Structure 1
Amino acid sequence: MNADHERHERHGRTAHEAPADADRRGRPEQDVRRPEPDGTGPWDEAVLDAVFTQSDVGLHVLDTDLRVVRVNTVAVGVRGIPEEQIVGRPAAEAYAPAGVVVDEHLLRDVLATGRPALDHLVTGRPPVDPRSEHVFSTSAHRLLDRAGHVLGVVVTSTDVTERERAQARLHLLHDAHERIGSSLDVERTAQELVDVTVPRFAGSVVVALTDVVLKGQDPGLQPRDATPLLRCAATGRTEAGPQVPEAGSLLLPGIFGSELPTAASLLPLDGRGASIGTRLVAPLAVRGQILGAVAFQRAEDSEPYGPDDLDLADAIAARTATCLENALRFTREHIVMTALQSWPLHQEQATQRAVDVAQRHRPGGSGAGSWYDIIPLPGARVALVVGQVAYPGLSAVATMSRLRTAVHSLTTLDLDPHELLARLHATTLRLAAEHENAPEGDNPTASCTIAVHDPVSGRLDIARAGTSLFAIVRPDGSADTKPVDDGPLLGAEGPPFACSTQHLPEGSTLCMASPPASGDDGPRPEDLMRALARPERDPEEMADDVERLLSPDRVLLLARTRHLPPGELAEWNIPFDFSAVGTARTHVEERLRQWRHPVDPFTASLVVSELVTNAVRYGAAPITLRLITDHDGLICEVSDAGPAAPHLRHAKAVDEGGRGLLICATLAQNWGVRHTDGGKTVWAQLGADEASTP
């Protein structure tokens, strides 16, 4: 009895004193025993007992040798290992059956320094759930007695498997959005789906696409009861993962079940022994269009798929289907762009007398809207055109095609390059007006450089809208990297456009390229000059060197200038008098005999006499007659100082004149007028088939 009394005195007030104390405070009676200062009271025992028997947090008490001293029921229950197999054994050995690797270095650091280790993640496979890998968040704290002696370390553990799985699913979905769809190729997109999900989501993955999709065609809407033909497009597996079919093999029915799934679902046990829940299939469809399907499979001893995995598979499949649709749209647009952005393969054949050309285009797939043209002009001249429409895409290529058509049409007017750009600017503005109501359409703008070379005089007229690469290298090796200033874009500020005129010796090299894309500064001047060095080289060889410096989607046009040889050109000054018409006819007949030209002399002399008569009657002195032979063709030019351009009219039956240009237009293949600094030139082109005069 005395012993009991002493124990009560040591632990605080007796039970008889507690109610009186409570009454003084006006509180209900409580049988409360306060702990003694040494911490050995009933409260400590109750708290310790509650922590080890009722807490949701696993407790593992280790001594200084890292042997397990005590564990609570939660820790034992989570591991599924009896307590007697844990207590008294080294921690690394005790938890090895659960697949937990104990970081002894970390625990000894806690014992030595007293710094707690917080939220350290460890994984394991408890015997109660060996197919699933669990994740535990552990924290270690050092234990000291009242004297400050180290007793050991206590480790708390909390099962955070669901939290980590949720984060892993979010990370996987984020990676799918980042990595799937990096290219606009359907097969590569399918392979990206495999690369993202193996091994993080499946041991093996099979992606199948319809034949229509693999051919780059529009899949269209499928009836609900229709089963499209699926062909293996991409596969992947781990070393221990299930086997996968060969690429190109037919897969339905079979790996995706008896019919194509309409949503992510689990396949039941099949003939090969795959367990329920280890194979998950999902359709690749967008807006009712069936593009294919994907099958995810895990090993039989792996954790089966759950409801959250079905949602994740649906999201990944939806992302892949969207990327496949984008790839198909690009493929179809690329086919259209390739058709629109096809340049004549032998443009240089009609202009070889004026220039030797080398042309390059390295497509990059973006539809940059770049183009070049080599357009023959009257008088053996040639127009070299390089341009590019801003905002790459199908609309840019369509705009480019329309601008090319406009350039070809405008060149028939024999305009100076800067005047041609002014007309082309008006055309671009009309195209912009059509784009105002187009979805996601920016007003088209374009850069364009036009250079007109005359092989008779060596004159080069240049005009530029926007920026582009333009360099001139003369036969002596001297170079001009900016023969003309930059000008405003077509469809933007508008004229006046930058222009210049130069007279080049024969054998000069013109290097023209479309502007670089945004973020590309283009080749360095020293690299370009190095590629254009030694101008005596063949233009094709020089073009190869320059092309290596250009980024994809740019076009390159390299031209070596020529001058007409004296034997192909004849020129006379004609007196400003009607009596000189006969002299002009004589000059033509004699020169055709010297050239042994197949054009009928009477037809040629008749055309020239009408042109000279027209110049004397309506023009101004001086008058110049020029003949240019072109193998089987003949170009007749009559120049005068009068600014007024003649026009074709149809005379009445009783009129005695007014039929000159009509006769020329009837006899010639083509005719026209071009204005020069000193007046105008009226020309007519005759062919050998005009040998018989009507």
Structure 2
Amino acid sequence: GRPARDVLLRSRPPADPDREHVFSVSVYRVRNAAGRTLGLVATTVDVTARERAQARLRLLHRAREMIGRTLDVERTARELVDVTVPAFADSAVVALTDAVLQGKAPELAALNGEMLLRCAAAGSTRADHPPPPTGSTLLPALFGPKLPSSVTTLPAEGAHPGSTPYGPRLVAPLSARGQIFGAVAFERRRGGEPFTPGDVDLAKSITTRTASSLENALRFTREHIVMTSLQSWPIGQERQTQRAAEIAQRCRPGGSGAGSWFDALPLPGARVALVVGQVERPGLSAVATMSRLRTAVQALTTLDLDPHELLARLHSTVLRLAREQKSLQGSIDEPTVHCTIAIHDPVSGHLDAARAGRSLFAIVRPDGTMDAAPLPMGPLLGGDGPPFACTSLVLPEGSTVCLASPAATREQGPTRRSLAAALAHPDHGPQQMADDVQHLLAPDRVLLVARTRHLPPDEVAQWNVPPELQSAGPAREQTQTRLQEWGLDIASSTAELVVSELVTNAIRYGAPPITLRLIRGETTLTCEIDDAALTAPHPRHAKATDEGGRGLYICATLAKSWGVRYREDGKTVWAELDSRTTGPDAG
């Protein structure tokens, strides 16, 4: 009782038995006023032209997605065959010149169309007509009397070796800018439908795409593969840093190997480090230097250094890399690097930043006001060196921090007015802001947009600790109470022991004021103790008869990680416990 609408059926109608047609059929039930079924009404519409046009569009879209994905000549030829067989033809043969197969520059198109061609890829759906083997020399008859200079259709006549007849054929050159890379021959079964003018246009678009991909493969294969392997972008950072900031990252590719990079690195205490940098003088050497500097940044952030101290260490690293390159390669230009580092603390709302060079750095507050130059430009890493410009700001929740690698020249970079027009929209999310700013960047530049967050009050617990040894007991009790409220899967004895040792060490070796802070994470608990002393804590190897000296060793054993970071007015010792941590007597 349900009508069938627009059902597509394929058949060969008696009026045109040599061609398959596509019909749109709809069938409806006919009833009288009493509801009795009288019969059926069927309508049929020939939609062959529409369906074939849509099929050609789908095939062209697939060709643009599939062909040229790699910078390899033979794989590009294979991609052409995979796309067109059997969707476009029953068999396809891609032939390339010897020069192209050997990775040499392609030849200019010969006036007489005569040149040696070898099979680079072939495919066929016909069991009685196997394709030629890869690497074999192809007979000229496959492409007609001579190598075509444009897309050409050939009649269904002639014979392959072994008296195998040809079906309808379409041959097309693979050429770009007067250079010939080879040719491709498409064939349909004997008695099959001939190629139409629409098929000719489709083949021209596909072969043009293939020729362009072959040209790129020959020109950029070696350097592109090396730079691609080095210019690896971080993944999964949105998940790791989302408690501190909502991150949006963009890269505008250009293929020149500019040596730009960005990082959003999670730090202890729910903090996040935002890093954007770029090596001067693009090329393969710049990408290699960028890769080594990224590794250095990730290693240095584990030391809990301030941003300007991080830049100072990176400056020394760049100078060392320059000396190594000079000793290995002789006299070359020493690398210099633009870099901006910003560290956001979601507990206090502080943003500490330092800048080397002229990387783009802007801050948009929730009320829409924008500071396009919160830091002055500083010397390049590997150039004049420290001191680097630095600042410490307290940002309200919902502020947006925008970092981007600089353009090659000031004229290529975004103007202050265009940047303000793209960023001064606090109602836009980071992803939309990144989209608005991305088109302002020069090619091969990276962009990082972060919307700051503050931890909710119920995820942070903080107490002032009196500088007395008896204070360790109340600190343990407060820790146990807060763990029960939070419901973290952490043994209370483990957390109490770590807190007790941190508080005791701060009282004995630190200076007041002393503050204990607990930060709740999704799967972790961070215990921090602040004091006003700048003495460096270090684990001791206590003897069996010693009554003390095991505090930091206990913390390092029970905690997932621990460390210390310094401030102008003191230091913070922290320990991070995993929620899957068991009690000290679990073993």
TM-score (norm 1): 0.56
Contact 2:118 2:137 in 1 (8 A): yes
SS in structure 1 of the partner of residue 469 of structure 2: coil
Name the amino acid aligned to 2:111: A
1:259-298 matches, within 5 Å, as none
Contact 1:607 1:663 in 2 (8 A): yes
1:656–1:209 distance in 2 versus 1, CA, 3 Å: farther
Displacement after TM superposition at 1:230 (Å): 7.0
Displacement after TM superposition at 1:552 (Å): 1.5
Contact 2:107 2:180 in 1 (8 A): no
Task: Name which of 401, 404, 407 aligns with 1:510.
Answer: 401
Say whether 1:330 aligns with 2:220.
yes
Task: Name which of 641, 644, 652 aligns with 2:532.
Answer: 641
Contact 1:210 1:292 in 2 (8 A): no
1:530–1:652 distance in 2 versus 1, CA, 3 Å: same
1:195–1:374 distance in 2 versus 1, CA, 3 Å: closer
Contact 2:519 2:526 in 1 (8 A): yes
Displacement after TM superposition at 1:336 (Å): 2.2
Aligned to 2:189: none
1:210–1:519 distance in 2 versus 1, CA, 3 Å: farther
Say whether 1:413 aligns with 2:300.
no
Say whether 1:382 aligns with 2:291.
no
Contact 1:511 1:558 in 2 (8 A): yes
Displacement after TM superposition at 1:443 (Å): 1.4
Contact 1:351 1:376 in 2 (8 A): yes
SS in structure 1 of the partner of residue 243 of structure 2: coil
Task: Name which of 377, 388, 397 aligns with 2:287.
Answer: 397
Distance in 1 (alpha carbons) for counterparts of 2:362 and 2:433 = 13
Distance in 2 (alpha carbons) for counterparts of 1:229 and 1:446 = 51
Contact 1:581 1:609 in 2 (8 A): yes
What CA deviation, in whole Å up to 9, does each residue of 1:73-121 have, x standing for no partner? xxxxxxxxxxxxxxxxxxxxxxxxxxxxxxxxxxxxxxxxxxxxxxxxx
Task: Name which of 440, 448, 453 aligns with 2:339.
Answer: 448
Displacement after TM superposition at 1:381 (Å): 0.7
Contact 1:407 1:424 in 2 (8 A): yes
SS in structure 1 of the partner of residue 262 of structure 2: strand
1:294–1:352 distance in 2 versus 1, CA, 3 Å: closer
Say whether 1:626 aligns with 2:534.
no
1:488–1:529 distance in 2 versus 1, CA, 3 Å: same
1:194–1:573 distance in 2 versus 1, CA, 3 Å: closer
Contact 2:258 2:282 in 1 (8 A): yes
Contact 2:278 2:337 in 1 (8 A): yes
1:410–1:207 distance in 2 versus 1, CA, 3 Å: farther
SS in structure 2 of the partner of residue 425 of structure 1: helix
SS in structure 2 of the partner of residue 671 of structure 1: strand
What CA deviation, in whole Å up to 9, does each residue of 1:156-186 have, x standing for no partner? xxxxxxxxxxxxxxxxxxxxxxxxxxxx998
Contact 2:105 2:218 in 1 (8 A): no
Displacement after TM superposition at 1:631 (Å): 2.0
Displacement after TM superposition at 1:594 (Å): 1.3
What CA deviation, in whole Å up to 9, does each residue of 1:413-450 have, x standing for no partner? 10000001000111111100111131674211111100
Contact 1:363 1:553 in 2 (8 A): yes
1:648–1:329 distance in 2 versus 1, CA, 3 Å: farther
Distance in 1 (alpha carbons) for counterparts of 2:117 and 2:441 = 38
1:669–1:550 distance in 2 versus 1, CA, 3 Å: same
Aligned to 1:544: 435
Contact 2:278 2:338 in 1 (8 A): yes
1:228–1:588 distance in 2 versus 1, CA, 3 Å: same
Distance in 2 (alpha carbons) for counterparts of 1:587 and 1:406 = 39
Aligned to 1:430: 320
Aligned to 1:10: none
Displacement after TM superposition at 1:661 (Å): 0.2
Aligned to 1:373: 263
1:480–1:206 distance in 2 versus 1, CA, 3 Å: farther
Task: Name which of 111, 122, 137 aligns with 1:202.
Answer: 111
Aligned to 1:556: 447
Aligned to 1:613: 504
Name the amino acid aligned to 1:429: L
Distance in 1 (alpha carbons) for counterparts of 2:471 and 2:227 = 56
Displacement after TM superposition at 1:692 (Å): 2.5
Q: Which runs of 5+ in 1 are unaligned?
A: 1-183, 213-226, 248-290, 296-323
Task: Name which of 566, 582, 586 aligns with 1:691.
Answer: 582
SS in structure 1 of the partner of residue 247 of structure 2: strand
1:194–1:292 distance in 2 versus 1, CA, 3 Å: closer
Displacement after TM superposition at 1:206 (Å): 6.3
SS in structure 1 of the partner of residue 290 of structure 2: helix
1:204–1:519 distance in 2 versus 1, CA, 3 Å: farther
Task: Name which of 231, 235, 254 aligns with 1:345.
Answer: 235
Name the amino acid aligned to 2:541: H
Displacement after TM superposition at 1:195 (Å): 12
Distance in 2 (alpha carbons) for counterparts of 1:548 and 1:231 = 48
Displacement after TM superposition at 1:678 (Å): 1.4
Displacement after TM superposition at 1:688 (Å): 1.6
Name the amino acid aligned to 2:231: Q
Distance in 2 (alpha carbons) for counterparts of 1:530 and 1:244 = 51
Displacement after TM superposition at 1:520 (Å): 4.7
What CA deviation, in whole Å up to 9, does each residue of 1:42-82 have, x standing for no partner? xxxxxxxxxxxxxxxxxxxxxxxxxxxxxxxxxxxxxxxxx
SS in structure 2 of the partner of residue 408 of structure 1: helix
- The farther-off stretch of 634-643 and 590-599 is 590-599
Distance in 1 (alpha carbons) for counterparts of 2:138 and 2:428 = 52
Aligned to 2:571: 680
Name the amino acid aligned to 2:247: V
Displacement after TM superposition at 1:632 (Å): 2.2
Distance in 1 (alpha carbons) for counterparts of 2:424 and 2:312 = 35
- The farther-off stretch of 530-539 and 643-652 is 530-539
SS in structure 1 of the partner of residue 539 of structure 2: coil
Displacement after TM superposition at 1:333 (Å): 2.2
Name the amino acid aligned to 1:475: P
1:231–1:547 distance in 2 versus 1, CA, 3 Å: farther
Displacement after TM superposition at 1:202 (Å): 3.0
SS in structure 2 of the partner of residue 492 of structure 1: coil
SS in structure 2 of the partner of residue 689 of structure 1: coil
Displacement after TM superposition at 1:330 (Å): 2.8
What CA deviation, in whole Å up to 9, does each residue of 1:570-609 have, x standing for no partner? 0000000101111111110111111122111111010011
Contact 2:489 2:579 in 1 (8 A): yes
SS in structure 2 of the partner of residue 491 of structure 1: coil
Displacement after TM superposition at 1:529 (Å): 1.1
What CA deviation, in whole Å up to 9, does each residue of 1:118-151 have, x standing for no partner? xxxxxxxxxxxxxxxxxxxxxxxxxxxxxxxxxx
1:8-407 matches, within 5 Å, as 202=111, 204=113, 211=120, 243-244=148-149, 328=218, 330-407=220-297
Say whether 1:583 aligns with 2:492.
no
Contact 2:246 2:450 in 1 (8 A): yes
Displacement after TM superposition at 1:545 (Å): 0.9
SS in structure 1 of the partner of residue 419 of structure 2: helix
Distance in 2 (alpha carbons) for counterparts of 1:519 and 1:490 = 19
| Higher relative contact order, chain-length normalized (CA < 8 Å, sep 6+) | 2
More strand by share: 2
Contact 1:341 1:401 in 2 (8 A): yes
Distance in 1 (alpha carbons) for counterparts of 2:439 and 2:312 = 33
Distance in 1 (alpha carbons) for counterparts of 2:182 and 2:453 = 63
- In terms of Rg, which structure is larger? 1
1:327–1:194 distance in 2 versus 1, CA, 3 Å: closer
What is the root-mean-square deviation in Å for CA atoms of aligned residues?
Answer: 3.3
1:325–1:202 distance in 2 versus 1, CA, 3 Å: closer
Contact 1:211 1:231 in 2 (8 A): no
1:293–1:385 distance in 2 versus 1, CA, 3 Å: closer
TM-score (norm 2): 0.66
Q: Which runs of 5+ in 2 are unaligned?
A: 1-70, 77-95, 122-133, 153-178, 184-213
